[in-house]
Amino acid sequence: MKTKWITLLLLTAVAVACKDKEAEKKIAALEARLSQLEGGKNNNTQSFSGDGQDVINVGPQEKPEGPLPAFAFEKTEHDFGTIKEGEVVSYTFKFKNTGEAPLIISKVQPSCGCTAPDWSREPIPVGGEGFVKVEFDSNGKPNIQSKSVTVTANTWPQVTTLRFKAMVTPKNQ
């Protein structure tokens, strides 16, 4: 019975948001999670192409052999506090490579278009320091905002999530 309600909810979401690529990604992720909860035997993860149309099944990743780099972020969460709608704020997440090999960031993906990332593009040597900078444009984003940036690197695990939040005072106040 519970599964039928969840399925009905997912189908409704698909019908309402069929043109929204972000919604399609979220629905696919929810469907995969539902399959796991129902005891599905598929341990594969799904990867989405840039246009939001293709879903590529990727097997579970294994830890590579040999020496690896490692992130040691000063912090992985930041609170901008209260800002006015329309303000553009930025924060730099600093890290050190505490691993045993040079660290290379291959991609930094923000959770929405309101966030612009920048990062250390050169390999970070063992013991070296690097950064991931986020710039948040609060225009059109009133009230509490919670965003993330996904950093993909040659570390294990390959993906690290950085988060930030802000209370955005609406323009009309």
Alpha-carbon distance of 34 to 4, in angstroms, equals 11
Residues 78, 127 contacting (CB under 8 angstroms): no
- Report the pLDDT averaged over residues 24-31: 60
Find out whether the peptide bond into 157 is cis, omega within 30 degrees of 0: yes
Q: Are residues 54 and 91 in the same domain?
A: no
Mean residue pLDDT of the chain comes to: 80
Percent residues over pLDDT 90 in the chain:
60
Encoding tokens for residue 36?
């796991």
pLDDT level of residue 28 (50, 70, 90 thresholds): low
Residues in CB range of 159: below 8 A, 6 or more apart: 150, 151, 152
Encoding tokens for residue 82?
């209260």
Is 65 within a domain? no
Q: Are residues 47 and 122 in the same domain?
A: no
The pLDDT assigned to 41 comes to 41
pLDDT digits (tens, 9 = 90+) for 10-21: 445 444 444 455
| pTM for this predicted structure | 0.66
pLDDT digits (tens, 9 = 90+) for 29-88: 665 555 555 554 444 444 444 444 444 445 567 888 889 999 999 999 999 999 999 999
Encoding tokens for residue 4?
């039928």
Of 34, 58, 82, which residue is a domain's last? 58
The pLDDT assigned to 52 comes to 44
Quote the domain boundaries for residue 23.
2-58
Is 66 within a domain? no
The pLDDT assigned to 16 comes to 44
Is 164 within a domain? yes
Q: Are residues 151 and 92 in the same domain?
A: yes
Q: Are residues 40 and 76 in the same domain?
A: no
Q: Are residues 155 and 110 in the same domain?
A: yes
Residues 38, 124 contacting (CB under 8 angstroms): no
* Residue 32, CA atoms < 13 Å, CB-side half-sphere: 17
Q: Are residues 81 and 145 in the same domain?
A: yes
Query: Positive or negative, the Cα torsion across 8, 12, 15, 20?
Result: negative
Q: Are residues 50 and 77 in the same domain?
A: no
Is 80 within a domain? yes
Distances (CA, A) of 6 to 33, 34, 45: 11, 8, 20
